[in-house]
Structure formats: C-alpha cells, structure tokens
Structure 1
Amino acid sequence: MTFPLSILDLAHIGDGETAGDSLSHSLVMAQRAEELGYQRIWYAEHHNMAGIASSATSVLIAHVAAHTRTIRLGSGGVMLPNHSPLTIAEQFGTLETLHPGRIDLGLGRAPGSDQQTMRALRRTPMSADSFPQDVLELQGYLTGESRIPGVDATPGKGTDVPLYILGSSLFGAQLAAALGLPYAFASHFAPDALEEAVAVYRREFKPSAQLERPYVIAGVNVIAADTADEAQEQFLAAKRTRVARFLARDRKLTQEEADLILASPAGQQVLHMMKYSAVGTPGEVAEYLDRFAGHAQADELIVASAAPDRKAWIRSLELLATAHGLTPA
C-alpha cells in the first residue's frame, strides 16, 4: 500500500541530557528525515514535563525550518485553549511567511499539562468549551477573512496555513468533519476510539475551501531494527520508560521495579496505550503499517518513536524508509 509517512517528534530529554541536547537531536533527525523522504514532522505542545522539550512549539518549528529545505513542519499540536487565536495566527503566519508552503498547524483542545500547570498557563477548566469558535476565529485570521471587525493577523492574513484537527475522541472527529478539515487521530497513545472516530469523520465530512474530501492521519508507534530480537529489546526498554513516566513520575526505576509495575493492573493500562505499535524487522514493520493503515482507513501515517534513544530512532527511520519505499530527497 502506498501512503505518505510522517514523524511525530516528542523531543524527549533522555537520561543525562539537557533540553539543549534534545533540541539538537531533533534538528539532526529532521535533516535525516528530509533526506529519506518523510512527508512532515510535527511537534507537540506539552508543559511542565521534565522529559519533553517541545513546550514552545512554534519556536522549535522555526529553528528546524531554518536548517532544512523541503520537509513540512508543524504542530501536533498546538493546544489552542492555552492561547489566543490571534497570537497563534501571528506565530504561524510568521512561520509561513518565512518558509512558504512548509508549515502545518495542528490544533488540539487538551491542556497538555496537569491541573496546577493549567492554572499557571492562566487557563480555566472552561477554556476548552470555546474550542470550535476559537478554531473558526483562527481560520479567519489566516484566510484574511477576520471574524473580529478591524482585527487582522500581521503576519498571517492571507497565508492560508492549513489547519488540522487533532483528537482521540468523537468530538474532534465531528468538529473536523463539520469544518471540512483534515483529522489526525492520536492512536499512538489513545487507541480505543480510533475506528469509530474515523468512521464518524468520513461519514459526516463536509467539503471546505481547504479540503474537498476527507483526509485522515493516524498515529502509530514504530521500532524497526536490524533483527527482531533487537527490536523487541528496544520495545521492552520503551515499556519500562513509559510506566516510569506515567506511574512513577519519571522517578528512576530499576528494571525489576519497572517490570513489577508492568505486570500490575495499572501497568497493563499504560501498556494498552501502546496497542498500535509496529515492532520488528523492516519488512515486519512495513507489513504492520500496511495493515494498520487499512484498519484505520488512514490516508497517511505519522510514526512516533518507541525506541530508547535517538540513535536507535534514526536507525529505525532509515530502515522504515527503505522498506516502505520512500523516495529520498
């Protein structure tokens, strides 16, 4: 099956690394992904997370865009209720002005943080309620048809930065369908509603100026390695890291402690988040992604790294690019 492959870079800060190390690695990976023929790279907005360096998403996109040539770059996503639509229109309008035809704007409504951090962001629990209206306001600034009389985004007006609705539930699917926007489902960590959400989106989709027919991007975890045993070893390390992050607040765990948590009911719930994971040799991973794309009714897949370090992740991307038949830049 032929479909574009893209990358979700979570900008992990590894053991013994600084945020600067992580961002440097992100640039190196983007440059290699561009050479390999990947469609786009997205960065997600998270706050108050010691292990993720992509909190200032637009700034990271600007840095990577300045040191790459052709690969599309964007947010996966900007959590719009954390910001005013005008501010995001100006930021991404600036990016599009500097790097024409290369910028995506994926939008989510989650806090991207915990309750305490949400307050520090000056966000209220009711902020998400205005998400649909905020998306329309933002769209108006970018198309040059502002919904606020006398207010324009400069830069931004007329840049037509493409919008994507991100989600893991029926809400995002219905909103993307109603607005005629592409829909990206977070199946790499929230697998349960995938089939129903995509079905609703495709059934209810209404064409728009941006998009004539439905377009679905589905997230999936990937570890491709030279041998199946090596891939499974990396996957086990990824599982241990995942339970430490979610159930031990990033506290350093021994392998024995991590494995005990993995075997617990809470650990199994965390592992369920990784239900859609392609792990194995390049051929095995490519076959899994073909099946998954059909299962998800996806037009494009965006792969997230489950590999334990950046070197393994870049090797995984190289192997996958060859197996999937990507065309090098």
Structure 2
Amino acid sequence: MSTPAPHVPLSLLDFATVYRGETPRDAFRRSVELARRAEELGYTRIWYSEHHNMTSIASSAPAVLIAHVAAKTDHIRLGSGGVMLPNHAPLVIAEQFGTLAELYPDRIDLGLGRAPGTDARTVAALRRSPQNAENFPRDVLELQGFLAGRSRVQGVEAIPGADTNVPLYILGSSLFGATLAAKLGLPYSFASHFAPDALVPAVKAYRENFTPSEFCPEPYVIAAVNVTASDTEEDAVRQSDIVRRRRVETMALRGRQVGEEDLDLLMSSPAAEMILSMLRYHAVGTGEQVAEYLEGFTRHADADELMISLQSPTTTEALTSMSILADAWGLPLSS
C-alpha cells in the first residue's frame, strides 16, 4: 500500500467498556492491551472519560486508570477526556495530575468537562451540586494556577502539581466550551462522536475568538469521530450494525434485555432514531474508505487532530480496526 500524504495526528478514546458477564478488571486488562498496541501503531494519545453509575463504563476514576496504563506503556500520551471538574475541588485534581506528571513526565494531559458525567441522583451521591457547573470557568483558572505554580488561593499550593504545567484541554459539545477555550487560550476538544449538532459553529466560534496564551499560542482543535474499520466493507457494516443495536438497547432500555424481535421493533422507533443520530459522524468500511471519510471529516471539522472512538463489537475487532486505520492513515510505527 502506498504511503498517503501526511495527515493530522490520530488519538483514541477508551471508555474501559465492561461487557456482559465481565468485571471492571477485564476492562482494565483490555485498556492496557489497547494502549500498548496504540503505542506501537503511532497513535498520539489515549484519553479516558469520567463517568459514574454506568454499568458498562469502568473509567470513573481517570487518574487511577491513567497511572495503571502509564506504568505498562513507554511513551504514548495519556489523559482525561475528561475529568468532570464540577465533581471535584480544583486542588484535588491538581494534586492527582501533578502526581501523574511527576511520575510520567511529558506524557500526561488533562481534559476538562463541565457536565457531571452522570445522573442527578449520582451527583447527590458525589456530594456535589448541579450548580457547581456555573463555577467551571473560575475552577479552570484556579486549577491552571495550581499547576503553573501561581496559586490563586493565598497560602495554598498543589504539592505535587505546582510547576508541572500539565496541559489543559477544554472539552465541550456546545458554544459554551468553545467560547471559554478561546477566551483562556487553551486547546479545544469537541465531543462530535456523540454530540454532533454544534460541531461546525463551535469550532468556528473558537477559532474566530481565540486569544493566544503562554500555554497555547495558536488555536488547536481536536474533533472526536467514530470508526469501524475491517478488511471488507461488508464486515465493517456488520460490526457497525451490532454496535448500533447495542447502543439503542443500552440507552433506550437502560440495561434491560429483550429478544431480538422486540429489539428489531425498537430499532425502527423514533427513540432509536434519536439515539443513533448521536453517531452521525461514523466512518465505516475498509481502511481506504475510512481514511477517505476521515479526510473529509478533518476538513469539515477544521480539526488539527482526530480523537477516534472505536466502534466494534469485540476487543479483537477493535484492535484490528485500530491497526487497519493506522496503516491507511500512514501513522509512524513505533521503533
């Protein structure tokens, strides 16, 4: 296969998925396997997102998972995509990610989200208030101060954390995050893998209003996109169909299992249509087809980097998809 022209970097989202009949331990083992392979294939970074009270997602404590994976890999960047800052005191996050930065220098990212990453009952169990989201801009600045060794809280320093300057990324799915990232002069990552509607206007607003900072002199956009790649188009479509059915079953039925005939009926419902609209940006096909789709998506999103959400029914198929994409995209293999 001829080497294509240089593309934007590719990175990965890992939700530490727990499949039926498994425990989180199984998910963490797979996360290590995926990270090691991604490192070999030349992916730039892997991010883990903070979710709570979700039986199929085990990445509720990103800092702990990052530490585990970092200890078993050599150089790939690892980070949060993201830490839901309203759930935490900025000092605690500065200390956690400062610890990671001291243990694994130049490998740690800190993506920050404004949503709670869960439902209202769980927010209460976290001892947090839904109103905490209103403090997000102030909390980002406080966290940034701790990590830069310029604390905004008199007499309080993040130890570890101070002077580590862990790179911050603002995550978002609306104009709010885009506006904040532009104002603070920080990189911006858009969650177009599940919230596609505001992608174009948000990126446009970010780029047009960006204020350079010492941390990020130029705007930098990471756009997330779903990928299902296989050796044949037919098999990629088959995998995608399974993923789509699971997505509807999980979100519409909230963990309840039904027969295939009932699921067939559900798949044709307005509720399923709304759920599947979240997967609008989904590259499905052979390596060549997926690469062509991603080239168009990069232009559409005006992105500097793509964050890939692998959509495959099994770990083996996800690893294959990741390898096919890396080859088609021309990623530099690790020596």
Q: What TM-score results when the alignment is normalised by the length of structure 2?
A: 0.97
Point out where structure 1 has 5 or more consecutive residues left out of the alignment.
Answer: none
Distance (whole Å) between structure 2 residues aligned to residue 257 and residue 11 of structure 1: 28
Amino acid at match of 1:55: S
Answer whether contact 1:36 1:328 (CA < 8 A) is retained.
yes
Q: Secondary structure at the match of 1:126?
A: helix
Residue 67 (1) aligns with residue 72 (2)? yes
Residue 223 (1) aligns with residue 204 (2)? no
Residue 147 (1) aligns with residue 152 (2)? yes
Q: CA RMSD in A?
A: 0.7
Distance (whole Å) between structure 2 residues aligned to residue 79 and residue 232 of structure 1: 34
Shift of 1:305: 1.6
The residue aligned with 1:324 is 329
Distance (whole Å) between structure 2 residues aligned to residue 160 and residue 237 of structure 1: 42
The residue aligned with 1:36 is 41
Deviations 1:106-136 (A, max 9, x none): 0001010001001001111211000000000
The residue aligned with 1:76 is 81
Q: Secondary structure at the match of 2:135?
A: helix
Match of 1:20 among 22, 25, 45: 25
Distance (whole Å) between structure 1 residues aligned to residue 78 and residue 103 of structure 2: 12
Residue 110 (1) aligns with residue 111 (2)? no
Residue 96 (1) aligns with residue 96 (2)? no
The residue aligned with 2:51 is 46
* Percent of pairs with identical residues: 59
Shift of 1:234: 0.5
Distance (whole Å) between structure 2 residues aligned to residue 25 and residue 17 of structure 1: 12
The residue aligned with 2:10 is 5
Q: Secondary structure at the match of 1:261?
A: helix
Residue 246 (1) aligns with residue 255 (2)? no
Shift of 1:257: 2.3
The residue aligned with 2:286 is 281
The residue aligned with 2:132 is 127
Match of 1:168 among 155, 159, 173: 173
Deviations 1:52-100 (A, max 9, x none): 0100110000000001001000000000000000000000000000000
Distance (whole Å) between structure 2 residues aligned to residue 259 and residue 184 of structure 1: 35
Answer whether contact 1:4 1:39 (CA < 8 A) is retained.
yes
Amino acid at match of 2:42: G
The residue aligned with 1:195 is 200
Answer whether contact 1:14 1:309 (CA < 8 A) is retained.
no
Shift of 1:306: 1.1
Report the count of equivalent residues. Answer: 329
Residue 261 (1) aligns with residue 266 (2)? yes
Match of 1:290 among 284, 295, 298: 295
The residue aligned with 1:232 is 237
Point out where structure 2 has 5 or more consecutive residues left out of the alignment.
Answer: 1-5
